[in-house]
A and B are shown apart, each in its own frame.
Chain A
Amino acid sequence: QSVLTQPPSMSGAPGQRVTISCTGSSSNIGAGYDVHWYQQLPGTAPKLLISGNDNRPSGVPDRFSGSKSGTSASLAITGLQAEDEADYYCQSYDSSLSGYVFGTGTKVTVL
């Protein structure tokens, strides 16, 4: 049972903007722990997309951006492309569980 909640699915046409939410609580995101985002293409391992709330690792297109406020975080994809069709997960640390937690995951479909 994940403690970080994401919408199960989102979709958009090529070129559109999609924003994925990640809702936590006072023991994880709200406690100030960093939020990271991952992209998982079908049949592959997850890939780090956004680190430390809003930092893009080298090689990640600037179409991807992250933000955090209160007990929630968001991942925005602007200029949606066919290759962005994947599952996306947020991740943080939870002090109540004394462990790391992942979001429920969001499947993005490019129409």
Chain B
Amino acid sequence: EVQLVESGGGLVQPGGSLRLSCAASGFTVSSNYMSWVRQALGKGLEWVSVIYGDGSTNYAGSVKGRFTISRDNSKNTLYLQMNSLRAEDTAVYYCARHNIGWGFDPWGQGTLVTVSS
């Protein structure tokens, strides 16, 4: 079964750091595009970052320079290192697989990140 399971969310103070993980099963992370998407409570979806099959990456302007996406091929796991966290980064973070001509599918169940003092 193709599945994604996120972990690593929690409460962090402004300026702090957190690393999210997304464990994949049923497919190979390194052979696909993998993205992080976030959703603040009661708000819409916001794309955060992507890592392509060749290892290249890209980021939304709101997180560029603060967040880093990576993957561990041996663990078939995607990561999001989040530094210099701000209150506005508070959201549920989802990981998702996608490819050219195909949408984000599947999605993980999401992990909640709360940035607050």
Do chains A and B stick together as partners? yes
A residues engaging B (CB < 8 A)? 2, 34, 36-38, 40, 45-48, 50-52, 57, 89, 91, 97-105
Q: Is the CB of B104 within 8 A of A99?
A: no
Chain B interface residue count, Cβ-Cβ cutoff 8 angstroms: 22
Main secondary structure of the interface of A (DSSP, over half): strand
**16 CB-based A-B contacts, threshold 8 Å:** A36-B102, A45-B110, A46-B104, A48-B104, A50-B103, A51-B102, A51-B105, A52-B101, A57-B105, A91-B104, A97-B60, A98-B58, A99-B50, A99-B59, A100-B35, A105-B44
Q: Which residue of A lies closest to B35 (CB)?
A: A100
Count, A-B residue pairs, CB within 8 A: 63
Separation of A97 and B108 alpha carbons in the complex (Å): 25
B109 within 8 A of A: yes
Q: Is the CB of A45 within 8 A of B109?
A: yes
Q: A46-B94, A99-B60 are in contact. Are A2 and B44 (CB under 8 A)?
A: yes
Q: Which residue of B lies closest to A46 (CB)?
A: B107
